[in-house]
Amino acid sequence: MAKNVCESLLDILASAGVRDIFGVTGDALNTLLDAIRKDDRFRWIGVRHEEDAAYAAYA
């Protein structure tokens, strides 16, 4: 079965060494979050505000 855009994006992130993905959940991200949930290479860390995600990723 062909990959969708989100799955291709996750392949690129994995090849760059990304393991943790920080972000704010929302309807616009449902397809991406579904792809992350199915992919064992990543850990999703949901936060309440965009600044929280930036601070957490920097730490």
Mean pLDDT score of the chain, rounded to an integer? 94
Q: Report in angstroms the alpha-carbon separations of 56 from 24, 27, 36, 45, 50.
A: 12, 22, 18, 9, 10
| CB contact at 8 A, 53 and 25 | no
Residues 6 and 37: their CA atoms lie apart, in Å, by: 12
The letter for the amino acid at 16 is A
pLDDT in tens, 25-44: 988 889 999 999 999 999 99
Domain that holds residue 50: 5-58
- 8 pLDDT band, cuts 50/70/90, is very high
pLDDT exceeds cutoff 80 at 1:
no
Number of domains in the chain: 1
